[in-house]
């Protein structure tokens, strides 16, 4: 007899139902939960079924960790963690701030790990762009590439958007960055419209429904 887990169910809920069905029908009940096959006999204990499930999950994880793919991924994660910790320890990179009061406000009210990472990313990005632009390179030609180069701490889309907003108000090239960002982010012509409004920055996670 086949059992189908419902969306949002826990393994405990599934095994209890399976054990009950197996006991009442006196038949074997099977299912697949997170790619793990589970079987309930008429006398199965739901708690033991849960323990067996997690034991199998752990066995699979250990096999993956020992595999070449697992070793590669774990090494990449460790390196990413090392870079993130080094970037955090390095602190806020210097860049040409045109509105010191505004920038200091951003820094003051973003002391939590997430907010502080936003501030560090914005400063690091501006610092790297300034270094490139000092050699004659245009912002529009390097902003995207350098945005990735500056991402040492695992920046989210929201953090990226926050960095653009901060730099738009505080950086010597902030207005140019804002205009570039809005045009790059737009799906239709919303970036062009935003560029006509003082300080408007498009959310990088735009969603368009319909025409």
Q: What is the pLDDT of residues 30-75, one digit of tens each?
A: 999 999 999 999 999 999 999 999 999 999 999 999 999 999 999 9
In this prediction the pTM is: 0.74
Query: Does position 198 have pLDDT exceeding 50, yes or no?
Result: yes
Asked whether residue 202 is assigned to any structural domain, the reply reads no
Same domain, 36 and 113: no
Asked whether residue 108 is assigned to any structural domain, the reply reads yes
Look up the domain containing 98 and give its range. 91-194
C-alpha to C-alpha distance for 186 and 190, rounded to whole angstroms: 6
Same domain, 155 and 119: yes
Asked whether residue 200 is assigned to any structural domain, the reply reads no
Same domain, 176 and 109: yes
Half-sphere exposure of 165 (CA within 13 A, CB side): 14
Asked whether residue 40 is assigned to any structural domain, the reply reads yes
Same domain, 24 and 114: no
- pLDDT single digits (tens) 139-150: 999 999 999 999
**Number of domains composing the chain:** 2
Structure tokens at 156: 């989210």
Helix (H) or strand (E) holding 161: helix 157-170
Same domain, 105 and 42: no
Check: CB of residue 195 under 8 Å from CB of residue 178.
yes
Asked whether residue 179 is assigned to any structural domain, the reply reads yes
- Say what the pLDDT of residue 65 is: 95
- With 0-12 / 13-18 / 19 or more C-beta atoms within 10 angstroms meaning exposed / middle / buried, residue 136 is exposed
Query: Does position 207 have pLDDT exceeding 50, yes or no?
Result: no
Same domain, 33 and 128: no
Same domain, 54 and 121: no
Same domain, 113 and 189: yes
Q: Enter the DSSP assignment of 173.
A: T
Query: Does position 210 have pLDDT exceeding 60, yes or no?
Result: no
Query: Does position 180 have pLDDT exceeding 60, yes or no?
Result: yes
Same domain, 100 and 48: no
Same domain, 102 and 175: yes
């Amino acid at each position: 007899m086949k059992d189908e887990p419902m969306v949002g169910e826990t393994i405990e809920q599934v095994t209890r139902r399976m054990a009950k069905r197996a006991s009442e029908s006196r038949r074997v009940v099977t299912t697949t939960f997170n790619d793990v096959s589970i079987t309930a006999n008429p006398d199965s204990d739901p708690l033991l079924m849960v323990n067996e499930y997690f034991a199998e999950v752990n066995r699979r994880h250990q096999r993956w960790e020992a595999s070449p793919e697992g070793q590669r991924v774990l090494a990449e994660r460790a390196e990413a963690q090392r870079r993130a910790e080094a970037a955090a320890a390095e602190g806020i990179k210097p860049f040409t701030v045109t509105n010191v009061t505004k920038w200091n406000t951003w820094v003051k009210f973003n002391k939590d790990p997430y907010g502080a990472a936003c501030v560090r990313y914005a400063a690091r990005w501006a610092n790297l762009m300034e270094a490139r632009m000092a050699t004659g390179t245009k912002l529009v030609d390097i902003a995207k590439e350098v945005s990735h180069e500056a991402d040492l701490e695992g920046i989210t889309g929201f953090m990226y958007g926050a960095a653009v907003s901060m730099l738009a108000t505080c950086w010597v090239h902030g207005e140019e960055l804002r205009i570039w960002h809005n045009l790059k982010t737009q799906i239709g012509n919303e970036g062009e419209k935003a560029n006509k409004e003082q300080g408007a920055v498009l959310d990088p996670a735009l969603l368009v429904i319909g025409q």
